[in-house]
Amino acid sequence: MARIAIAFMSLLIASQAWADNLIYIDQVGSGATITIDQDGSGNRVGSSGDDSKSDGASTTLDIDQVGSSNELDYDVYGDNASVTATTNGNSSDIDVQVGTTGGTNGGSDDVTISITNPGNTNTISTNVGTTVSNVDDVDIDIDLTSGSGSNTVTVTENSTATSILDKTTDIDIDGSSNTVTATKSGASQHDTLINHTGSSSTLSVTQSGAEASTVDVNTNGSNSSVTINVSD
């Protein structure tokens, strides 16, 4: 186990010597830029029982995982958070949370999450601002293309953005038997776009709040189920 101090942040990384490797990060302080590259199967960044975490403003994460059965569990607290996760492989589990618990910088403004994976049977989950206030300006982009199938995508977002341009979710998915669930709540505006190509998929969008909602679902394929619930 190695401990590395950089500027005003502490970074804790633990690695295993065998084929599967674990990276654990517990970082505090503003202006952090963290880049992680993992190549191989069965690797992890954090875990469901002990997520990696960054607590501070202006955090930039760039995480690349190549291989099957990899896992990413990361919590970010603080304004101006940018998370980019690129995975290339099957059967991976990706869980990114921003502003969901009361860290030192529990509120998170100007949040960008970008997840890309061309593989199959992956589970992708993002939670933004589900338990804390002062979460605003949220941009979530998920791209599962190149014929990916049997993926499960769950987006749960609760922010206070006042402009529909500041609270957007864009999901592009190409393949059959995918399940996409997008849920937005809070007294603010909501904007969800889903572009889907493939058959036998299940797409569900639920938006509630006091302001306007926009839902745009485009699907090309047979035997898919689309459910949209919007309330003010």
Q: Is 149 exposed, middle or buried (0-12, 13-18, 19+ CB in 10 A)?
A: buried
In terms of Cα–Cα distance, which of 166, 173, 168, 169 is closest to 195? Answer: 173
Return the SS3 of 110: strand
Q: How confident is the model at residue 110 (pLDDT cuts 50, 70, 90)?
A: confident
Q: What is the pLDDT of residues 53-73, one digit of tens each?
A: 998 888 899 999 999 999 999
Q: How confident is the model at residue 9 (pLDDT cuts 50, 70, 90)?
A: very low
- 15-24, 99-108, 183-192: range with highest mean pLDDT: 183-192
Q: What percent of the chain is predicted at pLDDT more than 70?
A: 82
Q: How confident is the model at residue 103 (pLDDT cuts 50, 70, 90)?
A: low
- What lies within 8 Å, CB to CB, of 9 at 6+ separation is 27, 28, 29, 30, 31, 32, 56
The answer, yes or no, to whether residue 83 has pLDDT greater than 80, is: yes
What are the beta bridge partners of residue 53? 26, 75
Q: How many helices (H) and strands (E) does the chain have?
A: 0, 21
The ranges assigned to domains in the chain are 26-231
For residues 11-16, give the mean pLDDT: 40
Long-range contact set of residues 194-199: C-beta below 8 Å, sequence gap at least 24: 194/218, 194/219, 195/171, 196/172, 196/220, 196/221, 196/224, 197/173, 197/221, 198/149, 198/173, 198/174, 198/224, 199/223, 199/224
Q: How confident is the model at residue 138 (pLDDT cuts 50, 70, 90)?
A: confident
Q: What is the pLDDT of residues 173-203, one digit of tens each?
A: 998 999 999 998 877 778 899 999 999 999 9
Average pLDDT of the chain is 82
Give the pLDDT confidence score for residue 74 in this predicted structure.
93
CB atoms within 10 A of CB 200: 14
For residues 65-82, give the mean pLDDT: 89
The answer, yes or no, to whether residue 18 has pLDDT greater than 60, is: no
For residues 118-138, give the mean pLDDT: 78
The answer, yes or no, to whether residue 1 has pLDDT greater than 60, is: no
For residues 158-164, give the mean pLDDT: 69
Q: 96 near 85, Cβ under 8 Å?
A: yes
Q: What is the pLDDT of residues 28-55, one digit of tens each?
A: 988 999 999 999 899 999 987 889 999 8
Q: What percent of the chain is predicted at pLDDT more than 90?
A: 43
The answer, yes or no, to whether residue 149 has pLDDT greater than 70, is: yes
